[in-house]
Amino acid sequence: MSFSQQRVLRSPTGAALNLYVKRAEGRPRAVVQINHGLAEHAARYVRFATFLGECGFHVYAHDHRGHGATKAPDAPLGTFAKVDGGAKVIADVAAVHDLIADDHPSLPVIVFGHSMGGLVALNFMLHHSSRLHAASIWNANFSAGLAGRAAQIILAWEKFRLGSDMPSRMLPRLTFQAWGKAVPDHRTPFDWLSRDAAEVDKYIADPLCGWDASVSLWRDLFGFVFDGADDINFSGIRKTLPICLVGGEKDPATDGGKAVSHLARRLHRMGFSNLVSKVYAETRHESLNEVNRDKIMDDFAAWADSVLKQP
C-alpha cells in the first residue's frame, strides 16, 4: 500500500506541508481530507486512504505543523507555532482545501479527523463549513470541563517556569501515561491505542510517534477543545450539514466514548438534524488500527455514500 503522490504544499502561514494524495480508482465521487492525531503523522493513514481510493474517493492527508515531515520556521517537532499555533493549523488546513478546490472544483469534500485531528476538523468546520459537504469527527474529546481548565492553569505555570517550546512535564502524565495505565494487564504503555499488538508495536517503533508535546502545543489543543465546547460557535453552521461521530467503548482518551456521545447530544440539542454517532464496543482509541477496523471503515464508506446521495 502506498499513496499516489507525496508533495510539498507551501501554506500562507510559512509552513511547507508534507502532503500525501491518494487517487480514486475509477470515476471519483468526492474528496476526503484527513487530519491525523497528536504525536503521529499522515503516512499512518495509508491503509484507510487505499480503502477510500477503492471506494471512489480522492484522499488528501498532510502532516500538521510540528509533526511528521512538515517544516516551518516556527514549528519544530512537537510545536504548532511559537505564536497563534491553533490559528495557523486551521489556516494550513484551509490551504489544503484551496488545493483540493483547484484540483477538483466539481467534487464535494468531506473533512475527517481522528483525536487531535478531530479537534482540528471540528474547528475547521466552525470557520469554513460552507466549503464542506460533510464532516467526520472520530475519537475527539470536547468534554474537558473543569479538568481541562485545571490543565490550562498547569500549562500557564509551565509556560512561566519552562517556556512555551519545552515539552510539558505534567500533561503527558495526565494523558498518555494515565491512559496507558487505564488498560488492564497492558503489555506496553501504548496498549490504550489498540487491541492489535502489531499496530501498537509499529507505533512504538516509529520515531515520529509517541513524543511529548510542547507546552504551547498543549495550550493550542485546549484552545481547540474549548472553542468546540462553546455552543455559540456553531451558530453559523447549517443545521443540515452531515456529521459523523465515532468513538470507542474502551478508549480512555474519550472516557470510554462518553465524550463522543456527549458531543452528539449537544449537536442534537443545537438542532443539527443530519447526525450519525456510534461508539464501537470493546474498541480503543485508534479505530483505524483496531482489530475491528474493517467493519469501522465499511461503516464510514456507507455513511459517506449516503451523504453523497443527499442534495
The pLDDT tens digits of the residues spanning 51-62 come to 999 999 999 999
pLDDT of residue 90: 98
What pLDDT digit, counting tens, does each position of 122-166 carry?
999 999 999 999 999 999 999 988 888 998 999 999 988 888 889
Q: What is the pTM of this model?
A: 0.96
Q: What is the DSSP letter of 214?
A: B
User: How far is the first Cα of the chain from the last one, in angstroms, to the nearest whole number?
Assistant: 34
- The rounded distance, in Å, linking the Cα atoms of 204 and 208 is 9
Query: For the chain, which domains are there?
Result: 5-308 (3.40.50.1820)
DSSP, collapsed to helix, strand or coil, labels residue 245 as strand
> Looking at residue 147, what is its pLDDT?
86
What count of other Cβ atoms lies within 10 Å of the Cβ of residue 297?
17
Q: What is the pLDDT of residue 122?
A: 98
How many Cα neighbours within 13 Å face the side chain of 131?
Answer: 23
Beta carbons of 30 and 14 less than 8 angstroms apart: no
Q: What sections of 104-164 are H helices per DSSP?
A: 116-128, 145-162
302 pLDDT band, cuts 50/70/90, is very high
SS3 state of residue 114:
strand
Cell numbers for 146, please give them: 473543569
CA pair distance 193, 199, nearest whole angstrom: 9
What pLDDT, on the 0 to 100 scale, is given for residue 260? 98
Q: How confident is the model at residue 297 (pLDDT cuts 50, 70, 90)?
A: very high
Query: Apex CA 283: angle with CA 278 and CA 284, to 5°?
Result: 115
Q: How far apart are CA 35 and CA 116, in angstroms?
A: 8
